[in-house]
Structure 1
Amino acid sequence: MKTLFNNYLDTFKGLSTEVWWLSLITLINRAGTMVIPFLSLYLRESLDFSFSDVGWVMSAFGLGSVIGSWLGGKLTDKIGYYKVMVYSLLGTGILFIALQFLTTFVTFCLGIFLVMLVADMFRPAMFVALSAYSKPENKTRSVTLIRLAINLGFSAGPAIGGIIITTLSYGGLFWVDGITCIAATFVLINVLNPKTAKTLDTVKTENPKSAYADKAFLIFLVAMVLFGIIFLQYFSTMPLYYKDAHMLTEFEIGVLLGMNGFIIFVFEMPLIKWLENTTFTKSGLMLFGAILTGLSFLILNMSSWIGVVIIGMLLMTFGEMIAFPFSNAFAMDRAKKGNQGEYMALYSISFSIAHIFGHNMGLQMIDNIGFDNTWYIITILAALCVFLLFLLSQFLNFKKKQKGKRKEEETETLWI
C-alpha cells in the first residue's frame, strides 16, 4: 500500500512551484464561483424570473463567456498573461459583489454578461501562463494538475454554497464569491509576480501565425465543440435520465456524479503519466477519449439494467480523463507557432460555444423525442467528433511526411 501511495505521489514530481501556485489560485477561483450552480434557483426564487427569463439570462452568461475568452486572448498577446489574470480576478470579485444589487431582468442580463466577460478573460491567460511555467515534457501533467484543482473547486463550491445560502441567504453567496476572487488576486500578485516567478518555456515567434490560418487547429476546434456538447449532457440531461428512466433518488444521483470526481482525483494523474510514456500521439489519444465518451451514451440504449448507468459513467469518466488533458496540451503545442493568446482563447471559446448550445439542445431533445432517441443522436455527434479527430490525425501525419521529404531533398541538394 505504501509503495502504491509513493508511486502515486511520484506522478506529481517535476512540476514547477509556479504551476502548483497557479493550481491553488485556480482552486480558490473555481470554488469561489459557487453562485453559478445556484443561479437559476436564485433567479426563480429571489427575483421571481420566469423560465423564459432564466433562459435568456443563461444565454447572456454564455455570450459573455465567449467574448471574454476572445478578449482575454487578445489582451494576453498585447499586455501579457500576468496583467490579464490580475485584472480579471480583481474585476470579477468586484462585479460578483455588485451583481446582487441588480434585480430587474435587463440589468441582470447585462450584469451577468459583464461578469462572465471579465471572468473568462482569465482562462486563455492562465493557459499561456501554464505553458510558460512548465517544461515541455511536463505540460500535459501540468494541465492535469489544473484540472484536479478545477474539479476540487467545483466539488467544494456547491457544498459550501449550500451552507452559505442556508445560513446567510443568497446575498452572502455573492459576497463570498467576490471576496474569494479578490483573495485569489492577492495570492497571484504575491507568488507569480514576473519579477520572482521562474519562466521555464519562453516562446518568441518572429512571424507569428494566426490561429485562423492553421487548418489543423480549426479541425481540432470543431471537434472540441462537438466533444463539449456531448460531455455537457452529463450535467444537464443525464441527471434527468437517472431520475425519470431509472428512478434514482437525488442521493443516488449525487453518489454517481461524485464517483466521476473521485475517479478523476485518484486515477487521472497516474493515467496521464503512463500515457505520456507510450508511443501514442495526442491526436490519437483524443480520438480514443471521444470513442469512450460516445460509447457511454450508446450503451444506455442496450439494456434497462441499472448497471448500465454505472458502466456509462465509467466510460465517460475515462474518456474525459484522456481527451481533456491531451486536447489542452495539443492546443498549447500549436500555440507555440503563433499568437499564444489567440490560440488559447479559441480553445476556451470552443467550450463556451458548447455551453451555449449543448444544455439547451439536449433538454429540447429529451422533451420532444425522448431519452433513447436523444442518446442515439448524441452518439452520432460523437461519431462525427471521432471522424474529425481521425482526419486531424491523418492531416498531421501527412504534414509530418511532407516535412521529412523536404528535409531529405535539402540534404541531397547540399551533397550535390
Structure 2
Amino acid sequence: MLKTAFNRYINNFKGFSREIWILTIITFINRAGTMVLPFLSKYLKEDLHFSYGEVGWIMVAFGMGSMLGSWLGGKLSDKIGFYKVMVFSLFSSGVFFFILQYITSFWGLCLGMFSIMTLADMFRPAMFVSLGAYAKPENRTRSLTLVRLAVNLGFAAGPALGGLIIMGMGYKGLFWVDGTSCIVAILIFAILVKEKKKASYQDPHATILAAASVFKDKIFWLFLYVSFVTAMIFFQLFTTLPLYHSEMFGLSEFQSGLLLTLNGLLIFALEMPIVSYFERKKVQKLKVILWGSLLMSLSFYTLLVNVWAGILIISMIFISIGEILAFPFSNTFALSRAPKGHEGRYMALYTMSFSLAHIVSSKAGLEIIAAFGYQINWLVMGTLGVTAGFCCIWLQKLLKTENSLV
C-alpha cells in the first residue's frame, strides 16, 4: 500500500525535459541563497539602527524596484529573448549584492534596494516565459509546479542557513553568500542550457486577438485583480500573522516558524499530486483558482475564532491548500492568455501584481490592525478573497462570450 502510494507520488515527477530540471536546480540554489531578504528589516533595524519609519521607506523602495524589474524583465524578454534577460539579471544582481553591504546611509540604501530589486526581479517574468519554451505542452502547469517546489524548498532552507551564517560571520556574510549563489546559479544555467528563441507552445484553448495590446485585454486585467488579491492575502502569512501568533497566543519565533514549516511541508507533499490530478482531468484553470481563493478566505475567517491556539494550524492548512490551487494555475492562465511574441509583457504584469501585493499587504494589514485590531483585519482579508472568487465566476462568463465570438 505504502509502496504504491510512493510510486504514484514519484510518477508525478516524470516526463519533464532536461532544461526544466536544470531550471529547477538553479531556482533552488538562487532561492536558498536569497538569505538577506528574511533578515532585511532586522538588519536595517538592529545593525544599522534605522527607525521603523526609515525601515518602512527602504522596504517601499524595495517593492518599487521589484515592480520596475518585473516590467523591464517582461518587456526585454519580448525584445531580446528571455535567455539573455535571465543571465544578465542573476549575474548583475549577484555582483550588486557584494556592493550593497558597503552602503549604510538611508538614501543610499533606498537607492541600493531599488536598484538591486530592479535587477533581481527582471529574472521572474523571463523565467516564466522560459517555461513556455522548454516545457512539454502536456505538462506546463506541472513544470511550473516543479519550479515552485524548488522556490519553496529554497525558501525553507534559506532562513535556517542565513541564521547560521549570521551567527558565524555576521550580517555581512549574508551578502557574500547571496551574491555568490546568484552567480553560481546562472553560470550552471548558461553552461548547461542552450538558448531557445521563442516559446514553442501556446494553449490551444486560449482565444486572443493577437494584434491587441495587453492594456486593452480587459479579461486579463480582471484576472490581474484576482492575482493581486490572492497574493495580498497570502503575504499576510509573513507580515501580520507572525505578530498575531506572538501577541494573541504568546508563540515564540520557533513555534511561529514551525507553522510556516507546515506550509512548506504541505506544498512539498501535496502540490504536485494535486496539480497533476487537475491537469489529467483537464479541469478549467479558473475553476481551480476560484476554489483556491475561497480556501484562502476561509483561512482568515477561521482566525475569527480566537479562543484556541489550534485554530492557527487549521488556518494554515486552509491557506496552504488555497495557495496550491490558486498560484500554479493562475500562472499558467497568464502565460496561456498571451499572444505569441507578447509573453514577456503579460508575465511582467502578472509578476508586478505580486510585487504590488507585497507592498500593499503589509502596509494595509498593519494599518487596519493599528486602527481596528486583528479581528477586523482577518474579516477584511477574508472578504477580499471572496471578491476574487466572484471575479473568477465573472471571468468564466466573459471567456465563454469571447470564445463564442471567435
Taking structure 1 as the reference length, what is the TM-score of the superposition?
0.93
Map of 2:346 onto structure 1 = 343
Q: Does 1:358 align with 2:366?
A: no
Contact 2:210/2:339 (<8 A) preserved: no
Q: Which moved more, 1:367-376 or 1:144-153?
A: 367-376
Contact 2:70/2:349 (<8 A) preserved: yes
How far residue 115 of structure 1 moved from its aligned partner, in angstroms, is 0.2
Q: Does 1:118 align with 2:119?
A: yes
Q: Deviations over 1:277-303 (max 9, x none)?
A: 225210111011000000110111145
Output the aligned Cα RMSD.
1.8
Map of 1:97 onto structure 2 = 98
* Distance of 1:252 and 1:117 partners within structure 2: 34
Contact 1:211/1:338 (<8 A) preserved: no
Contact 1:208/1:338 (<8 A) preserved: no
Contact 1:209/1:338 (<8 A) preserved: no
Q: Deviations over 1:330-382 (max 9, x none)?
A: 01101245511000000100000001111111111112211111111111211
Map of 1:152 onto structure 2 = 153
Contact 1:61/1:112 (<8 A) preserved: yes
* Distance of 2:331 and 2:305 partners within structure 1: 33
Map of 1:394 onto structure 2 = 397
* Distance of 1:117 and 1:44 partners within structure 2: 23
* Distance of 2:180 and 2:57 partners within structure 1: 27
- Correspondence 1:193-342 to 2 at 5 A: 193-194=194-195, 201=200, 208-302=211-305, 304-337=307-340, 339-342=342-345
* Distance of 2:197 and 2:270 partners within structure 1: 29
* Distance of 1:183 and 1:208 partners within structure 2: 40
* Distance of 2:81 and 2:313 partners within structure 1: 44
Taking structure 2 as the reference length, what is the TM-score of the superposition?
0.95
Query: Aligned residues: percent identity?
Result: 49
SS in 1 for 2:35: coil
* Distance of 1:274 and 1:238 partners within structure 2: 31
**Which residue identity does 1:316 align to in structure 2?**
I
**Which residue identity does 2:167 align to in structure 1?**
T
**Which residue identity does 2:24 align to in structure 1?**
S
Contact 2:263/2:317 (<8 A) preserved: yes
Map of 1:34 onto structure 2 = 35
Q: Which moved more, 1:46-55 or 1:334-343?
A: 334-343
* Distance of 1:139 and 1:176 partners within structure 2: 32
Contact 1:227/1:385 (<8 A) preserved: yes
How far residue 149 of structure 1 moved from its aligned partner, in angstroms, is 0.5
**Which residue identity does 1:221 align to in structure 2?**
L
**Which residue identity does 2:192 align to in structure 1?**
V
Change (3 A) 1:339 1:308: same
Map of 1:143 onto structure 2 = 144
Change (3 A) 1:200 1:115: closer
* Distance of 1:293 and 1:65 partners within structure 2: 24
* Distance of 1:319 and 1:206 partners within structure 2: 31
**Which residue identity does 1:352 align to in structure 2?**
S
**Which residue identity does 1:380 align to in structure 2?**
T
Map of 2:373 onto structure 1 = 370
Q: Which moved more, 1:342-351 or 1:164-173?
A: 164-173
- Correspondence 1:61-72 to 2 at 5 A: 61-72=62-73
Q: Which moved more, 1:10-19 or 1:250-259?
A: 250-259
* Distance of 2:46 and 2:251 partners within structure 1: 26
How far residue 248 of structure 1 moved from its aligned partner, in angstroms, is 2.2
Map of 1:52 onto structure 2 = 53
Contact 2:289/2:325 (<8 A) preserved: yes
How far residue 198 of structure 1 moved from its aligned partner, in angstroms, is 10
How far residue 256 of structure 1 moved from its aligned partner, in angstroms, is 1.4
**Which residue identity does 2:200 align to in structure 1?**
D
The unaligned stretches of length 5 or more in structure 2 are 203-207
**Which residue identity does 1:15 align to in structure 2?**
F
Contact 2:137/2:201 (<8 A) preserved: no
**Which residue identity does 1:50 align to in structure 2?**
S
SS in 2 for 1:301: coil
* Distance of 1:335 and 1:124 partners within structure 2: 12
Contact 1:134/1:200 (<8 A) preserved: no
Paired positions, count: 401
**Which residue identity does 1:3 align to in structure 2?**
T
Change (3 A) 1:302 1:165: closer
Greater gyration radius: 1
**Which residue identity does 2:391 align to in structure 1?**
L
* Distance of 1:230 and 1:53 partners within structure 2: 25
Q: Which moved more, 1:111-120 or 1:42-51?
A: 42-51
Contact 1:366/1:374 (<8 A) preserved: yes
Change (3 A) 1:208 1:167: farther
